[in-house]
């Protein structure tokens, strides 16, 4: 860096008067000028700080992709045993409650059979619905959903509205080679 050329007297006088008023009006500027007068280096003489190495951000969590074949297989089982898809695809607004109730009874029986054949289920909470319980700090928020006026931190005391369900075993039939799981129910043609 080269040394700047000396200023003529009138330029120095103009700079001094301007600096005087600038120093009176700006306390931060005055502090920097005083630091320079006391021997602090100019900002251009101070080497830039070494870059702070921050670790790269962690990769976003990877969600397991859904097993589409298993979902479609379950839907096909529900269709086969209870005509589940037919029931849900039907516009039931025109039917009486008695007609819908009769169809729901058939759907319930078949769907329950599929659940019992394909899954072992257990309650998430053993307490009876309607009982009071306390959720301690660190409770499993994936297994218990807290509803209502949730304020503050656990422990929470409330009433069990639903005991929840957890699958302990899954038994879906093995798929045969070339089976198209996207066909939930084949079209039927009577000859």
Mean pLDDT of the chain: 85
Higher local confidence (pLDDT), 15 or 172: 172
38 and 75, same domain (yes or no): no
87 and 109, same domain (yes or no): yes
In a domain, 191, yes or no: no
In a domain, 89, yes or no: yes
Number of structural domains, the chain?
A: 3
Enclosing domain of residue 144: 124-171
72 and 115, same domain (yes or no): yes
Cα-Cα-Cα-Cα torsion 93, 98, 101, 105, nearest 10 degrees, comes to -140
Q: Over 60: is that where the pLDDT of 1 sits? A: no
143 and 110, same domain (yes or no): no
What integer is the mean pLDDT of 119-143? 94
137 and 166, same domain (yes or no): yes
In a domain, 20, yes or no: yes
89 and 112, same domain (yes or no): yes
In a domain, 183, yes or no: no
Q: How far is CA 84 from CA 38, 72, 122, in A?
A: 86, 13, 23
Could you tell me the pTM of the whole model?
A: 0.58
Find out whether the peptide bond into 73 is cis, omega within 30 degrees of 0: no
Residues 153-190 have pLDDT tens digits of 999 999 999 999 999 999 988 888 888 989 999 999 99
In a domain, 55, yes or no: no
In a domain, 187, yes or no: no
What residues contact 124, with CB distance under 8 A and at least 6 apart? 143, 144, 163, 164, 165, 166
In a domain, 167, yes or no: yes
In a domain, 141, yes or no: yes
138 and 115, same domain (yes or no): no
């Amino acid at each position: 860096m080269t040394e700047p050329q000396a200023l003529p007297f009138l330029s120095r006088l103009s700079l001094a008067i301007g600096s005087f008023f600038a120093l009176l009006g700006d306390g931060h500027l005055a502090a920097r000028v005083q630091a320079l007068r006391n021997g602090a280096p100019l900002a251009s003489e101070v080497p830039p700080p070494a870059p702070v190495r921050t670790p790269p951000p962690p990769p976003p969590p990877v969600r397991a992709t859904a097993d589409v074949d298993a979902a479609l297989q379950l839907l096909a089982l529900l269709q086969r045993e209870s005509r589940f898809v037919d029931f849900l695809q039907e516009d039931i607004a025109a039917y009486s409650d008695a007609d819908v109730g009769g169809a729901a009874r058939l759907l319930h029986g078949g769907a329950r059979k599929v659940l019992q054949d394909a899954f072992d289920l257990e309650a998430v909470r053993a307490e009876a619905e309607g009982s009071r319980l306390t959720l301690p700090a660190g409770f499993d928020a994936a297994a218990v959903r807290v509803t209502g006026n949730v304020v503050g931190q656990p422990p929470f005391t409330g009433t069990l509205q639903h005991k929840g369900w957890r699958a302990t075993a899954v038994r879906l039939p093995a798929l045969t080679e070339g089976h198209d799981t996207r066909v939930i129910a084949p079209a039927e043609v009577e000859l």
